[in-house]
């Protein structure tokens, strides 16, 4: 859909370029724009004031971008904010230059400037996009949206619904976004909001009919909150994690954990009858809150269809030759209660206290923030194993750019493909992946206040 504003802009640029040859002319005119700008959103329940947010295209969440697997995605980012920004396309096996990480793959896009993102979409699945500049603040202010890559053969469902789960921290007096200088957030569990949202609204209501089959794409875009989710009044299966199909659908019979940046694709059949309650339920300290109220109105013509077929696997995703893999280790320490004895920060040895005075609280392998040398350098096509040792008291959601990995379980079996791994305090886990995508790829905690205060490194694929 092209809005009037985009048309007006396109008109203006056409007028300014009267001498371009026809073909180029057309390409300039057709590049779709995504604009980062300030907007107003009804985050607090109806009746309370609106909140000023930072948005893509004036929407919270940003517009749903849908594309076919194997196609190319082109978006010109226009920065109409007063702060530099960028767009990271989370979970896409992308051309490194398009990964959107200022200081690593591009310069931040200054106010009034643009950047052309243009890349292939090799994999189907549920992804998202978000600012990767000052992301602990910019994502928490609203700079995020869904990116859905459709399978060539879509599964048989009546409806495909994206649900972006989020939280915001609002100042209770003004209803505006609370400040970002709370050191407790950085040193503890990150910035946990005081209002949870689904697709930008406090009370999300989904109208369905009994026996309807829905695909639900759950995306956690909160910067720190881990959602524990359950369902009520529906039967379902987990079909995919972090965009990647499971080999066999997994029946939904226990609560699901959804860490920041993770995604879960479900197929669900509405079993509740009209008048019965159906919900997507968020669990917190044994209390259940309705995250999405599913209203059942009437009966659908469709009949229960039984376990769905698995989604088609994405191409060329193999973990091979675990035995002669490149072995690497990442130890995470710091944070409240434990700290660290000393670590390297900006080329100097510092105590935890000195780091804290600079707003830094965490270290990877004894280094605070992006190190000079990458964590590892892999040949293209090489299998890499990384043991992750969480020596802190806090959970972390470790995200690797440009690749999906599998967890190597204690018994040697491999877990499903993921791009973000949730680790609890004192856990040790191991992941493996094929370093298939050349470039510098950041590897960081997606609790974004942690990434901003030390939990950031990168890998290099030659």
Binding mask 361-400 for Cu ion (x = CB under 5 A): -----------------------------------x----
C-alpha torsion 67→68→71→75, nearest 10? 0
Which among 36-44, 76-84, 159-167, 441-449 is the span making contact with Cu ion, rule CB under 5 A? 441-449
| 401 touches ligand C2O by CB under 6 A | yes
| 445 touches Cu ion by CB under 5 A | yes
93's contact among ligand C2O, Cu ion, none, with CB below 5 to 8 A by partner kind, is none
What is the layout of strands, in order, in the sheet containing 414-418?
348-351, 342-345, 367-368, 362-364, 326-334, 383-390, 428-434, 405-408, 414-418
Q: Can you tell me the distance from the alpha carbon of 193 to that of 188, in angstroms, rounded to the nearest whole number?
A: 14
Give burial (CB, 10 Å; 0-12/13-18/19+) of 315. exposed
Can you tell me which of 447, 448, 449, 459 binds Cu ion, judged by CB under 5 A?
A: 447
Bridge partners (DSSP) listed for residue 144: 130
Take residue 422 and report the two structure tokens written for it. Answer: 């949730």
Can you tell me which of 75, 93, 132, 213 binds ligand C2O, judged by CB under 6 A?
A: 132
| 442 touches ligand C2O by CB under 6 A | yes
How many positions of this chain bind ligand C2O (CB under 6 A)? 10
Give, in order, the Cα–Cα distances in Å from 351 to each of 348, 363, 367, 371.
10, 11, 12, 17
In the bound state with ligand C2O, the residue whose beta carbon lies nearer, of 210 and 437, is 437
The torsion region of residue 83 among left (phi > 0), alpha (psi -120 to 50) and beta comes to beta
In the bound state with ligand C2O, the residue whose beta carbon lies nearer, of 88 and 213, is 88
Q: Can you tell me the distance from the alpha carbon of 335 to that of 188, in angstroms, rounded to the nearest whole number?
A: 6
**Are 202 and 60 in contact, with CB atoms under 8 Å apart?**
no
Minimum distance from CB of 90 to ligand C2O (Å)? 4
| 319 touches Cu ion by CB under 5 A | no
445's contact among ligand C2O, Cu ion, none, with CB below 5 to 8 A by partner kind, is Cu ion
Minimum distance from CB of 401 to ligand C2O (Å)? 6
Give burial (CB, 10 Å; 0-12/13-18/19+) of 275. exposed
| 261 touches ligand C2O by CB under 6 A | yes
Taking the alpha carbons at both ends of the chain, their separation in whole angstroms is: 40
| 429 touches ligand C2O by CB under 6 A | no
Minimum distance from CB of 402 to ligand C2O (Å)? 10
In the bound state with Cu ion, the residue whose beta carbon lies nearer, of 429 and 450, is 450
Binding mask 190-229 for ligand C2O (x = CB under 6 A): ----------------------------------------
| 450 touches Cu ion by CB under 5 A | yes
Which among 30-38, 180-188, 226-234, 439-447 is the span making contact with Cu ion, rule CB under 5 A? 439-447
Q: Can you tell me the distance from the alpha carbon of 362 to that of 365, in angstroms, rounded to the nearest whole number?
A: 10
Q: Can you tell me the distance from the alpha carbon of 320 to that of 428, in angstroms, rounded to the nearest whole number?
A: 22
| 399 touches ligand C2O by CB under 6 A | yes
Which among 296-304, 342-350, 355-363, 439-447 is the span making contact with ligand C2O, rule CB under 6 A? 439-447
C-alpha torsion 232→238→243→244, nearest 10? 170
In the bound state with ligand C2O, the residue whose beta carbon lies nearer, of 163 and 447, is 447
In the bound state with Cu ion, the residue whose beta carbon lies nearer, of 131 and 187, is 187
Q: Can you tell me the distance from the alpha carbon of 274 to that of 425, in angstroms, rounded to the nearest whole number?
A: 44
Give, in order, the Cα–Cα distances in Å from 427 to each of 188, 355, 396, 420.
17, 24, 10, 15
Cβ neighbors of 41 (< 8 A, separation 6 or more) are: 50, 51, 53, 55, 60, 142, 200
| 90 touches ligand C2O by CB under 6 A | yes
Of 220, 200, 217, the closest CA to residue 260 belongs to 220
Q: Where are the beta strands (DSSP E) in 226-285?
A: 227-232, 234-241, 244-251, 256-258, 263-270, 278-284
Minimum distance from CB of 337 to ligand C2O (Å)? 26
In the bound state with ligand C2O, the residue whose beta carbon lies nearer, of 339 and 439, is 439
Residue of minimal Cβ distance to ligand C2O: 90
Minimum distance from CB of 302 to ligand C2O (Å)? 36
Hey, is 45 helix, strand or coil?
coil
How many positions of this chain bind Cu ion (CB under 5 A)? 4
Hey, is 354 helix, strand or coil?
helix
| 442 touches Cu ion by CB under 5 A | no
Which among 104-112, 190-198, 266-274, 438-446 is the span making contact with ligand C2O, rule CB under 6 A? 438-446
450's contact among Cu ion, ligand C2O, none, with CB below 5 to 8 A by partner kind, is Cu ion
Question: Given the rule CB under 6 A, which residues bind ligand C2O?
Answer: 88, 90, 130, 132, 261, 399, 401, 442, 444, 446
Question: Given the rule CB under 5 A, which residues bind Cu ion?
Answer: 396, 445, 447, 450
């Amino acid at each position: 859909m092209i809005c009037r504003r985009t048309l007006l802009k396109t008109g203006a640029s056409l007028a300014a370029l009267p001498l371009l040859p026809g073909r180029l002319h057309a390409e300039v005119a057709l590049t779709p724009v995504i604009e980062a700008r300030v907007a107003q959103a009804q985050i607090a329940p109806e009746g309370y004031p609106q909140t000023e947010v930072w948005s893509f295209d004036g929407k919270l969440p940003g517009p749903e971008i849908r594309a076919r697997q194997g196609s190319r995605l082109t978006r010109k980012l226009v920065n109409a904010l007063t702060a530099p920004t960028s767009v990271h396309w989370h979970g896409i096996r992308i051309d490194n230059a398009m990964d959107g990480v200022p200081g690593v793959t591009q310069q931040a896009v200054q106010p009034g400037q643009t950047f052309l993102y243009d890349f292939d979409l090799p994999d189907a699945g549920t992804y998202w996009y978000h600012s990767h500049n000052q992301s602990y603040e910019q994502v928490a202010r609203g700079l995020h949206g869904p990116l859905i890559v459709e399978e060539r053969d879509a599964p048989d469902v009546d409806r495909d619904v994206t649900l972006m789960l989020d939280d915001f921290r609002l100042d209770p007096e003004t209803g505006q976004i609370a400040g970002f200088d709370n050191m407790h957030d950085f040193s503890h569990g990150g910035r946990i909001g005081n209002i949870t949202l689904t697709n930008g609204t406090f009370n999300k209501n989904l109208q369905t009919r009994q026996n309807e089959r829905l695909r639900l794409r759950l995306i956690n875009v909160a910067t720190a909150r881990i959602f524990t989710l359950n369902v009520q009044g529906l039967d379902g299966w987990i079909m995919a994690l972090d965009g990647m199909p499971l080999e066999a659908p997994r029946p939904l019979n226990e609560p699901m954990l959804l860490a920041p940046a993770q995604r879960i694709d479900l197929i669900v059949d509405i079993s509740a009858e009209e008048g019965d309650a159906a919900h997507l339920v968020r669990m917190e300290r044994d209390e259940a809150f309705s995250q999405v109220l599913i209203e059942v109105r009437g009966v659908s013509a469709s009949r229960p269809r039984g376990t769905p077929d698995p989604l088609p696997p994405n191409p060329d995703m193999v973990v091979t030759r675990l035995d002669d893999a490149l072995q690497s280790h990442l130890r995470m320490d710091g944070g409240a209660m434990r700290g660290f004895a000393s670590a390297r920060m900006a080329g100097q040895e510092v105590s935890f206290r000195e780091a804290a005075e600079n707003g830094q609280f965490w270290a990877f392998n004894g280094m605070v923030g992006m190190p000079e040398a990458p964590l590892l350098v892999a040949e293209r096509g090489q299998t890499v194993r990384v043991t992750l040792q969480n020596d802190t008291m806090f959970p972390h959601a470790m995200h690797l750019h440009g690749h999906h990995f599998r967890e190597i379980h204690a018994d040697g079996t491999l877990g499903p493909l993921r791009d973000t791994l949730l680790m609890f305090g004192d856990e040790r886990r191991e992941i493996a992946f094929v370093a298939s995508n050349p470039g510098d790829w950041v590897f960081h905690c997606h609790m974004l206040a942690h990434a901003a205060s030390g939990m950031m490194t990168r890998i290099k694929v030659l």
